[in-house]
Amino acid sequence: MPKYIIERKIPGAGQKSKEELQAISQKSCSVLENMGPQIQWLQSYVTGDKIYCVYIAPNEEMLMEHAKKGGFPANEINKIETIIDPVTAE
């Protein structure tokens, strides 16, 4: 199943409290639970004004549906073609 990175522009994301981030996470998980097992959230990276989320999903449309149902922006969605890391250099 394809893996994607979603860029969500959320002003002040990096300054959100633990409780605010927990509420966002809970909302996302609730929507995912209702959408079924085809879409999975792996993890997210919070920066100053953006959150980058890594998901497994059959297509971009399902990711957009999750964003709409959760009230989250999905400003850019990119399919991950391959993953490299330090081991790739060996």
Is 87 domain-assigned?
no
23 within some domain: yes
Q: How far is CA 51 from CA 35, 55, 87, in A?
A: 21, 13, 26
**Number of compact structural domains in the chain:** 1
The answer as to whether 42 is a domain residue is yes
* pLDDT tens track for 66-83: 999 999 999 999 999 999
33-79 per-position pLDDT tens digit: 999 999 999 999 999 999 999 999 999 999 999 999 999 999 999 99
3-state DSSP assignment of residue 51: strand
Range of the domain at 63: 3-81
Residue 44 maps to which CATH number?
A: 3.30.70.3090
- Determine the Cα–Cα distance for residues 67 and 83; give it in Å rounded to an integer: 24
Tokens encoding 79: 């399919």
Residue partners of 82: CB distance under 8 A and separation at least 6: none
Answer whether residue 62 is part of any domain: yes
pLDDT recorded at residue 64: 98
Task: Evaluate whether residue 9 is within a structural domain.
Answer: yes
CA dist 84 and 9 (Å) reads 25
